Structures are given as structure tokens and as C-alpha cells.
Amino acid sequence: MPQLEMSIKASLQRWESANRLTEAGLKTLQKWYNTTTGLWETTGWWNGGNCLTTIADLAIFDEQAASVGHTVLLTTFAKAQKANFQFHKRILPNEDIFEDMNRGWDDSRCGGGIWWDKNQTALVAIANELFMSVAAHLATRVHHKANHYHRWATKGWYWFKKTGMINERNNVNDGIDLKTCQNNRGIVWSYNQGVILGALVELSRASPIPDYSFIAQAHTIAFAAINTLADEKGILYDPCEPDCGADGPQFKGIFMRNLQILHKVAPRVEYQIFIEENARSIWQNAKNEKDQFGVNWVGPFAGPALASTQSAALDALVAAAAIRR
């Protein structure tokens, strides 16, 4: 009995410690939040969506974050549409957004897939991963149209797999060469490895008949990503570091968030170790005295700290805290 009590006490201490770290990271992230525009200064629109997602994930088990998240969500949706004339297009109901994406599906070029843009200049991994993810999530939520969304999620997945964008090392490259309709051998970015994990987990949930093959494929991609994108200490990095422009600083957080989603439904001790080691390194090595996080998680801290670097690192801390619950 004493051993059990000690184990419970140790678990609670680890959980409380993880909670304090995430709350400190959130407090710093919100210093960039502009209540007039409903956006985070220093970063862009799509990054702001990730900031919202990070806060929402933390709010699931943190009352302080839940309070912040409620206020931020209402403010962003009320103010951001006034600050940008295009914002109304971004807050259409989820089903309408999906149907707009769906209209971009093109069987005439490379046998399917949705285009990167309305001008049809590229077929890239991220657009099609998100298409699958949105379809699969709708399939598990809009029950009267579940078959419709499941069919599209499945169609998107099998097309994606057929293109060869998942290479011989089980890494997802950046897209398709439009001349050959084959893998373009583009950069292996962490977010492309992450979004597909979440999409496959949700597709597994959406399947009328249990289908473990989607989870098995997700495990294959996850282990391959860690092998390719982790350094000798097991810390995640992207090829762009330390200068990742406006978009790149967000990528690693997306991977960590989706890895935790996979770990939740199909735990692997390797994932837990990886997530916790990255969270530890961020806090010990990639943070300055203001609790700002840099893009390089191995450290030492190197600026500039941005809302994107902060929310990406916070994704890793939230993932670690979620595991310790």
C-alpha cells in the first residue's frame, strides 16, 4: 500500500509540474495576442489557427487555459473578420469548407487529389492530408452524412498512397511532380508527417467496420518520421532550422500534437519517451528568461521568439502533459 501511495504521489507531482510549464508557456503566448484584431502578432493567419488549436487542446485538462480559450475564441471570431475582408471565407461552417475543398478534386491530372490553390499550380501533400483529415472528422461528427464523408476520406487516402508521396523510407515528401505524377522528392517536413497521423487515426474511427490498417500505417509513418527528423539526442528538428521563415517555425508542433493523438489511441512507449524528451529539452534548453521558446528545441535559445515558435513548442508541452494525466 505505501508503494502504491508513493507511486500516485509521484504521478501527481509530475502532472502538476507539467501543468505549470504549459501554463507558463500559454501566458507568454498570449502576450502576442491582439484583442483588437483577434490575431497573434508576429505570425500569420494559418499560424493563428494553430495557436487556437494549441489552447483548445490544453483547455481539455486545464481550467486556466479553458477560461483563456473561451475568451480568445469569441474574440477572434468577432474581431478578425473585421480586420481582414477575407476572414468571412474562413469561418464558413465546416461542411461548406469541405465542399469547397471537394470542388478542387481533379481526376484529370495525376488521377485525383485537390490542388494547392485555385490556379492549380501544384499538388502537394499538406493540402491532401488536410482534405482527408477534414473528411474523416466530419464523418465521425455529421452522422446523417457519415457515408459521404467517409467515402471521400477513404478515396483521398488511397489516392495519396498510390501517388508514392510516402517514399521508400515511409517519409512523406512535399508533393507530386506534375510532369510525372510521381513523388517530387521534396523536403520531408515534420508537419507533413504529423497531419497524416491525425487523419489516419480519425479515418480509423470513421470506418463502419473496424480497420486497424489505418493505425498500422500511422505507426509506420510515425516511427519513420522520428528516425528521419530526430537528432542523436532524440530531439525533433526541421531541415530549415535555424531560419524557417514565416511558416516553418510552426511545423514541429503540428507533428507533436498529432503524435500524441496517435499515442492516445494506440500507445507506444517510444512515443511517450520522444514526447517527454522533447518537452524537457524545450523547457531546459530552448527557453529564455521571459519563458519564450525558440525554433531550435535542442538549444540554446536563439531568437527571434514568435507566436509561431511559442505555440509550436507549447504543442509539445501540452502533448507531454496530456500523456501524464
In the structure grid, which three cell numbers stand for residue 181, read together? 505524377
Sign of CA dihedral 53, 210, 147, 176: positive
Residue 91: phi and psi, rounded to 5, are -115, 20
Domain count, the chain: 1
Q: Give this prediction's pTM.
A: 0.91
Let me know if residue 27 belongs to a domain: no
Q: Which CATH number covers residue 134?
A: 1.50.10.20
In the structure grid, which three cell numbers stand for residue 79, read together? 474581431
Let me know if residue 162 belongs to a domain: yes
- Residue found by looking up cell 477572434 in the block: 76
Domain that holds residue 210: 94-323
Let me know if residue 315 belongs to a domain: yes
Q: Which own/partner pairs from 1-4 qualify as long-range (CB within 8 Å, at least 24 positions apart)?
A: none
- The residue type found at 217 is Q
Per-residue confidence (pLDDT) for residue 324, from 0 to 100: 83
Let me know if residue 50 belongs to a domain: no
Let me know if residue 113 belongs to a domain: yes
List the chain residues with pLDDT less than 70: 1-18, 80-93
In DSSP notation, 103-155 reads TTB-TTTTTS-B-SSTT----BHHHHHHHHHHHHHHHTT-GGGHHHHHHHHHH
Per-residue confidence (pLDDT) for residue 139, from 0 to 100: 96
- Tens digits of residue pLDDT in 143-173: 999 999 999 999 999 999 999 999 999 999 9
From the list 236, 163, 141, the residue with the least C-alpha distance to 194 is 236
In the structure grid, which three cell numbers stand for residue 129, read together? 492530408
Per-residue confidence (pLDDT) for residue 74, from 0 to 100: 86
Per-residue confidence (pLDDT) for residue 97, from 0 to 100: 87
How many CB atoms sit inside 10 A of residue 2's CB?
6
Let me know if residue 301 belongs to a domain: yes
From the list 262, 287, 288, the residue with the least C-alpha distance to 274 is 262
Per-residue confidence (pLDDT) for residue 309, from 0 to 100: 98
From the list 83, 176, 85, 76, the residue with the least C-alpha distance to 126 is 176
Let me know if residue 32 belongs to a domain: no
